[in-house]
Amino acid sequence: MKLVSLNLNGIRSAVNKGLVEWLKSEQPDVVCFQEIKATPEQINVQDFEQMGYNCYWYPAFKKGYSGTALLSRILPDFVSKGIGTDLFDSEGRVIRADFGDITVIAAYFPSGTTGEVRQSVKMQFLQDITTYLNKLKEDRSKIIITGDFNICHKPIDINNPNKHLQVSGFLPEERDWFDKFVALGWVDSFREFHSNEPQRYSWWSYRSGAKSKNLGWRIDYFMVTEPLKPQLKNADILDTIMFSDHCPVVLELKDL
């Protein structure tokens, strides 16, 4: 199984930049999008369906904002949307799909960069998603959660870490949450294959030529539960592929 995750910062813009053609060449089995910023009526869904994808769209109530999607060549056994919290569910942040004994969750974590109110919302989301996942783990042992976490976990995951210690996305309380999350039995799949590799990022600001200078942040992840660790085949960041200010991240699983 090959999975790709990508924050699109607008699916219509990404399509205009060649997203559909890239998917045709990449041929992932499961695709997880964040920040689609559109409803299905605003998307040429046939472009994706003609490639053999079963498509599940979860737009935000607010037009042109947030939203996620999960596309799969494999027909899921079960699909659900939301985590049972009205605020986050109205923003279309979480989709779950089950494929046999494996659960895939596409998630778009809130950003706290616009001020204290949204930072507080972000911290609440971290609590709520943890509760949701802990409950899910009671019945499902093999879980993948992927998407834009809007958090750099370690200093190796961000450029000039000392300059960002008070910046949302690298705050001590956010990184502490990530430490505790890993301690609950979650594995950062990328670091299983690139344990000490620096300057590997998935997001770059549009400002000040950040991409050309590689002044990036690694905020897009494939996190998996411990029982899936033996099935990890490869994980990587496709940092030459740009349809937005994020690049795709990829995970490959092997059969056991």
Active site residues: 148
Give the β-pairing of 94-99 and 102-108: antiparallel
Q: Is 153 helix (H, G, I), strand (E, B) or coil?
A: coil
226: how many CB neighbours lie within 10 A of its CB? 12
| Residue among 65, 5, 73 at smallest CA distance from 36 | 65
How is residue 206 written in tokens? 């549009």
Whole-number Cα distances in Å, 123 to 14, 149, 153, 187:
29, 12, 15, 21
Query: How far apart, in whole angstroms, are the C-alpha atoms of residue 170 and residue 86?
Result: 26
Q: Is 168 helix (H, G, I), strand (E, B) or coil?
A: coil
Query: Which residues in 84-219 belong to E strands, given as ranges?
Result: 94-99, 102-108, 142-148, 186-188, 203-204, 216-217
Distance of CA 111 to the CA centre of its chain: 13
Query: How far apart, in whole angstroms, are the C-alpha atoms of residue 237 and residue 201?
Result: 7
Give the type of residue at 6: L
